[in-house]
Structure 1
Amino acid sequence: MRDRGYALFTVSDSIHVNAPADRCFLLSTHVGLAALTLEMQPVSGKVQGTLGPGDRVIFAGWRFGLPHVHESVVTRYERPGFLQHSMQRSRFSRYHYDHQFIEIDGQTLIIDKLRFSLPFGWLGKKIGKRLVLPAIAALVRKRLELLKQVAENGQWRLYLAEESHEEAHPSGIIAEAS
């Protein structure tokens, strides 16, 4: 498949997680967990906590021996079933990352699909196929395994504690939703 004259690459992976879909969804939006996976630091935009609709974050770090800046914005946010973030600025020509969450009997199937293309024509295609595609596939797998680990044990409370939503009831009693 071609995208504006560039080769379009796709990475798909999935994992079963023994946790509710909403927890997995929120963990997927957590900037700190993304930074751990990417091994890059959030430097601008929403740099901590969970991302919401339209939120933007800029990560900076090193990739393939070169400085790399990646600006991403949440382009679809359908809690707890679907999340998409798209690149606004990066070395990629195109970059869209979809996360789908399907809950079945208290467990969640997370399906990740990342589509990207690189500049530089035939050279970008060769670099993409030999170097970038395997590296991105490894990052997607690393992300899914980290989400599973955090969601299935008590670690998720460390990441979502600041995201606890309090709702005031008509009686004036405040209840915390988990």
Structure 2
Amino acid sequence: MPKIELTTIINAPIETCFDLARSIDVHIESTKQTGEQAVAGRTSGLIELGETVTWRAKHFGMWQTLTSEITDFDKPNFFADELVKGAFKSFRHEHYFLARNGQTLMKDVFIFESPYGILGRLFNRMVLTKYMTSLLIKRNGVIKAAAEGVNG
């Protein structure tokens, strides 16, 4: 299964970064290019342990729906969301936060699997890993800008 790991240094308190990373509203802002909207479950505010959100967005020219659930939660250090239903065969997105020297180190670990066996694995290698990395970098940039704007 492909694994994407990203680290972002943010000049803001850990609590601010943690809350922005689980904000439905910030997520929508970070995915404007896909027209992403929360259409069921938690549709605004801060998602919590055990809650789900269903997203509708346009990826690769097609409207897709995906539901994920917050399955692990340790405020303000860690949370994880996992696929309930959608185009992936599976995914787990782990969000780690570490306060150090007045900054927050935010780390994403995104592990995913596509359906369709070898065709899915080829798609992962040739297209999807790069695409998902780009989406996560954009998302982290929006979180960083929001956190540093609030605390800057």
TM-score, normalised by the number of residues in structure 1? 0.80
Deviations 1:22-78 (A, max 9, x none): 110000110011122233100000100001111110001211112211101100110
Asked if residue 21 in structure 1 is aligned to residue 14 in structure 2, the reply is yes
Corresponding residue number in structure 2 for 1:66: 62
**Equivalence map 1:110-121=2 (5 Å):** 110-121=106-117
Picking from 62, 65, 87, the partner of 2:83 is 87
Percent sequence identity over aligned pairs: 25
Corresponding residue number in structure 2 for 1:136: 132
Q: Distance in 2 between matches of 1:55 and 1:28?
A: 15
Flag structure 2 segments of 5+ consecutive residues without an equivalent. none
Asked if residue 49 in structure 1 is aligned to residue 42 in structure 2, the reply is no
Q: Over aligned residues, Cα RMSD in angstroms?
A: 1.1
| Higher relative contact order, structure no. (Cα contacts within 8 Å, ≥ 6 residues apart) | 2
Q: Distance in 2 between matches of 1:67 and 1:18?
A: 36
Picking from 12, 27, 38, the partner of 2:5 is 12
From the CA coordinates, give the structure whose radius of gyration is larger. 1
Aligned to 1:153, the other structure's residue is in SS state: helix
Deviations 1:123-153 (A, max 9, x none): 1111111111110000111111111100001
Q: Distance in 2 between matches of 1:121 and 1:37?
A: 31
Q: Distance in 1 between matches of 2:124 and 2:26?
A: 25
Picking from 5, 24, 30, the partner of 1:31 is 24
**Equivalence map 1:136-155=2 (5 Å):** 136-154=132-150
Corresponding residue number in structure 2 for 1:172: none
Corresponding residue number in structure 2 for 1:100: 96
Q: Distance in 2 between matches of 1:115 and 1:37?
A: 20
Aligned to 2:2, the other structure's residue is in SS state: strand
Aligned to 1:125, the other structure's residue is in SS state: helix
Aligned to 2:79, the other structure's residue is in SS state: strand
Flag structure 1 segments of 5+ consecutive residues without an equivalent. 1-7, 157-178
